Amino acid sequence: MEKVLVVENLKKNYGSIQALKGISFDVNPGEIFALIGPNGAGKTTALRIIATILSSNGGDVYVYGMSVKKQPEKVREIISYLPEEAGAYKVLTGREYLRFMASLFAPDEKTCKEYVEVASEIADLGDRINNKISTYSKGMTRKLLLARAVMTAPKLAILDEPTSGLDVLNALEIRNTIKKLAKSGMTVLVSSHNMLEIEYLCDRVGIINKGEILEVGTPGELKEKFGAQNIEEVFAEVAR
């Protein structure tokens, strides 16, 4: 089975600081894979390199066999990236925003309309999709942004803290949407500080600290290995 994502000995320096010290992991088709770690561990740096936003200082990343170093344009055609601090144009309505973003990716008007309809369904904002984004709650905005990120049916969706700052109900809606997308065949690479979310959502977990991958496994495997009741206890043991 071909891997969707292969990260090989990936390194990144910021001056004298080694943000990534040669990390390696892979992600299977249809899998939800979480990269977790404390602040400053290298999670977001890794996601941005995979998303072709940052360049690395060593190693490489392959998406369906395509190198992000040598074929970044090709990789961008089949991935999407939702940053933690993403925002939307508040002067637009939700539908206007989706249409604007769809027009950047769609090859023709018919496809653009299809993208907007798909995104509107995923966002599930009802009639509020026609209201200005300035009137949206944080949860509504995040659902709109997630819908924007996946409306083109990317083969790999990269989601950095997708439920950050959301209340329980909005976070649950986002998680359920991500699970539905994975069941439909989309592969998801996610980062989150919410360990309950990771345990509920993900098929496998990679724990990173100080620029190194320390453990990779299913939530069940990791809990068994460390004699832990939950992933939070595993995380505390590994990342201390």
Q: Where are the domains of the chain?
A: 5-85+155-238
pLDDT at position 127 is 95
pLDDT at position 168 is 87
Query: Which tens digits make up the pLDDT trace of 3-14?
Result: 999 999 999 999
Q: Is residue 137 within 8 Å of residue 174, measured between CB atoms?
A: no
Query: Which tens digits make up the pLDDT trace of 153-187?
Result: 999 999 998 888 788 888 888 899 999 999 999 99
pLDDT at position 45 is 95
CATH number of 5-85+155-238: 3.40.50.300
> CA 106, CA 108: separation in Å to the nearest integer?
6
> CA 76, CA 52: separation in Å to the nearest integer?
7
pTM comes to 0.92
> CA 190, CA 50: separation in Å to the nearest integer?
12
Query: Which tens digits make up the pLDDT trace of 32-67?
Result: 999 998 888 899 999 999 999 999 999 999 999 999
Residue 20 backbone phi and psi in degrees, to 5: -130, 130
